[in-house]
Amino acid sequence: MAGGPAPRLATWGLSGAIGYGLSQWLMLLVLARLGTPAEVGRFTVGLALTAPIVMLTNSQLGWVQATDSEHEYSFGEYRRQRWLASSVAGGLILLVGFSFGGGADFGVIALVGAAKIAETFNDLYAGHFQRHSRVDLSGRSQLIRGTCSLFLFGAAVAISRRLEVGLVALAVGSLLVLSLHDRPAGNRFAGGREEGHASINWPRVGRLTIRLIPLGFAALIISLNTSLPRMIVEGSLGREALGVFAAMAYLIVAGRMVAAPLGHIAAPRIGAAVARRDRRAFWVTLRRLLGIGALMGAIGVIVSLVAGRALLTVLYGSEFAGSAQVLPWLMGVAALGYLSSFCQIAAIAAGKAHGLAAVALLTLVATGVVGGALVTQLGMVGMAAGMLVAAAVELVGCSWLVHRSLAWNFGSRGATRPPNDLFERGAH
């Protein structure tokens, strides 16, 4: 029936990602309200040091699964690769913690890393669900995980007044959802049990790992683009300033989490369009995504200009509202980031993921050079302006990759079938 199951699946995917993104932001708000900007800074340092490692070893595996429309690899092979990568991530995080964390900082670094590694297994099952066009299951998982983690984290911090206890609760929340929802759901549909328990072809797992290496380095550099500004702010302005800056910058992350379900819904369609050489379906779906991303970005910038100070006062308190002039710059970064992330999905589906590493490296250089030069003169505004320049560099690079993808994959060929789904209707 037209407008039946597909819209319901999309609604679950959208609701799940919005709910999860909101829960991540609310956890930071809880920490800011119950603690201090310095405590938010400790949490941010833990994220800045562990996120690049987790992103490197995760290698955007969920997107690779979602766009693997021809089932080149089984779920069991993806899962085994995830276990190997997570073991490497755990060892590297402990090494970083010993090297850069002193005293209580080591505990925060290790616990943040553990929580993020646990989430990569939820991401593994999300990719499995999306590959079988079950966005409702991935959305439900995100919604339950976000709610559970927020409740456990908030309760733990409120009772103990210790960030470390909250981080333990955060990891427990992800593992509970993995055990009680993700694994059972994966075993109930589309041969999940058969795929997950079949004998593993280790040479194929090795080939999958090699294939993921470029994506891993691209993800590493992308993560460094998030971590580097925070480390520059801490080094130049101190940890308390870092807490204020990170609280505002996290709105970028929250916005991307809201935009992510659109990419999750569209990724299998883009991958299928590439597989069948359907240039028109590829372009129409991507163009629809970009239009939604531009609208979201414009709303964020306008709200930050009109009501930024009041918004920060209500959300975080007066200690944070004093830097409201930084917020419009950060919302501009978010707006360009939505567009870049959708272009990245298209590039991955079109087999041009290797180019993302070069784009991310250029973005990282722009962040460090421009942001590092401006932060000493303009403070947090200077860092935000440097991030905006870097976001523009990223968008130009990702757009160029999509342009090349159209030429390399489709040439002059393209189907003329009529649009028939959410992303294609009205976009021609």
Q: What is the pLDDT of residue 104?
A: 64
> What letter would DSSP give residue 298?
H
Q: What is the pLDDT of residue 232?
A: 92
What pTM was estimated for this model as a whole?
0.68
pLDDT tens per residue, range 72-107? 777 888 888 888 888 999 999 988 888 876 666 788
- Helix, strand, coil shares of the chain, percent, nearest 5, are 85, 0, 15
Q: What is the pLDDT of residue 58?
A: 83
The closest alpha carbon to 24, from 345, 304, 252, belongs to 252
pLDDT tens per residue, range 203-239? 777 788 887 887 788 778 878 888 889 889 988 888 8
Helices (H), 316-379: 318-321, 327-349, 354-366, 372-378
Following DSSP, what letter does each residue of 38-79 receive, concatenated?
A: HHHHHHHHHHHHHHHHHHHHHTTHHHHHHT-TT--S-HHHHH
Domain ranges of the chain: 5-410
Average pLDDT, the chain: 80
388, pLDDT greater than 90:
yes
Q: What percent of the chain has pLDDT over 90?
A: 18
The closest alpha carbon to 226, from 17, 50, 16, belongs to 50
Contacts of 280 (CB under 8 A, 6+ apart): 414, 415, 416, 417, 428
pLDDT tens per residue, range 212-221? 887 788 778 8
